[in-house]
Amino acid sequence: MPAPTPEEVKGLVGGGAGSPVIRKILDSDILHSFRSSKLTMVAAVIVLLCFLGALLAPWIAPFDPFDPAKVFLSDASIPPVWQQGGDSRFVIGTDDQGRDMFSAILYGLRVSLAVGGLGVLLAATIGITLGLVAGYMGGRIDAIIMRIADVQLTFPAILIALLIDGVAQGLFQGLPREQSAIPVLVISIGLSFWVQYARTIRGSTLVEKNKDYVHAARLVGLPAPVIMLRHVLPNVIGPVLVILTINLGLAVITEATLSFLGVGLPPTQPSLGTLISIGNKYLFSGDWWIVAFPGATLAILVLAVNLLGDWLRDALNPRLR
């Protein structure tokens, strides 16, 4: 086997060979492989539960942790119900402000998944668009886009988020973080993760654009955007699903890390990451539940998402099975 080009190697990190995904999903093979893997099914159920919990948080959470009038400081740092000093109202205890941990985790999931999901979608939109254009147009446009990708790769997500946060602070001076945090985080994540999509899509597009159906479409006289969107896109979108899934986990971790470094969501509107960074302060002091439950939730969620991503990659790449 000849050594792959750098582009191919870089593409491998995201993984997955490209082939039309819709057909694949309908393929009973995939459903079969899904049913045959218990771990994958468990992961899918966990992810589903997390999404449901996040969506339905206002209805199923016993308290509203975002309403300061309903949070009582005198309830602060109550341990879980099975420990001495527990309170039956707060099954897994309260945080340092007296918020019910269970409710806070549900609402935190909501924020984390919203930030992660929107961020990843933004990344995919930017990446797919630029990748298609770069691959299809080629030449100078391709070079410029891929150089931008290089520049952007210079800065990992954390750095980009710090930068965007700084710029946002400069632009909206005095705007409370409660209002600015979510858009800033979504943009940070969107701008940090688009390169992978662009590179993958560009690679597949380079292959597809020399195929007969594209030549045919061009001969018929269809405009380039139409060919790209209607004809090329469906044939190159496959790997994007895998990257989307894996990136969702990464995006949630990125959000948590930013909160740890102090540029994420404020403690008045905690995401899972903020809850962990609040709890982190109490790790040594014995109030283990403030960090343990959000930490475990985050780890299990990301783990399940990654398991799904792994399975999806293997399922879409039959040679690896």
Write the DSSP string, 166-227: HHHHHHTTT--HHHHHHHHHHHHHHHHHHHHHHHHHHHHHHHHTTSHHHHHHHHHT--HHHI
Name residues whose C-beta falls within 8 Å of residue 306's C-beta, 6 or more positions apart in sequence: 245, 246, 249
CA 21 to chain centre: 20
- Interface with another protein: number of residues (CB under 8 A): 77
**Is residue 139 at the binding interface for another protein, with CB under 8 A as the rule?**
no
Closest CB to another protein among 205 and 297? 297
Closest CB to another protein among 15 and 231? 15
Tell me, residue by residue from 214 to 253, as one string, x for binding to another protein by CB under 8 A and - for no binding: -----------------------------------xx--x
* Shortest Å, Cβ 82 to another protein: 21
**Is residue 307 at the binding interface for another protein, with CB under 8 A as the rule?**
yes
Query: Which residues from 148-177 bind another protein, rule CB under 8 A?
Result: 148, 150-151, 153-156, 158-159, 162-163, 166-167, 169-171, 173-174, 176-177
CA angle at 26 for the pair 28 and 31, rounded to the nearest 5°: 40
**Is residue 261 at the binding interface for another protein, with CB under 8 A as the rule?**
yes
Q: Using alpha carbons, select from 144, 288, 154, 320 the residue that is nearest to residue 276.
A: 288
Name residues whose C-beta falls within 8 Å of residue 72's C-beta, 6 or more positions apart in sequence: 98
Closest CB to another protein among 15 and 135? 15
* Shortest Å, Cβ 219 to another protein: 26
* Shortest Å, Cβ 21 to another protein: 19
* Shortest Å, Cβ 123 to another protein: 17
Closest CB to another protein among 233 and 278? 278
* Shortest Å, Cβ 17 to another protein: 10
Query: Which residues from 31-90 bind another protein, rule CB under 8 A?
Result: 67-69, 71-74, 76-77
Query: Which residues from 96-125 bind another protein, rule CB under 8 A?
Result: 96-98
Amino acid at 255: E
CA angle at 242 for the pair 37 and 129, rounded to the nearest 5°: 165
Query: Which residues from 281-300 bind another protein, rule CB under 8 A?
Result: 281-287, 295, 298-299
Closest CB to another protein among 52 and 167? 167
Burial string for 139-177 (b: 16+ CB within 10 Å, else e) reads eeebeebbeebeeeeeeebbebbbebbeebeeeeeeeeb
* Shortest Å, Cβ 124 to another protein: 19
Whole-number Å distance between alpha carbons of 119 and 273: 15
* Shortest Å, Cβ 226 to another protein: 31
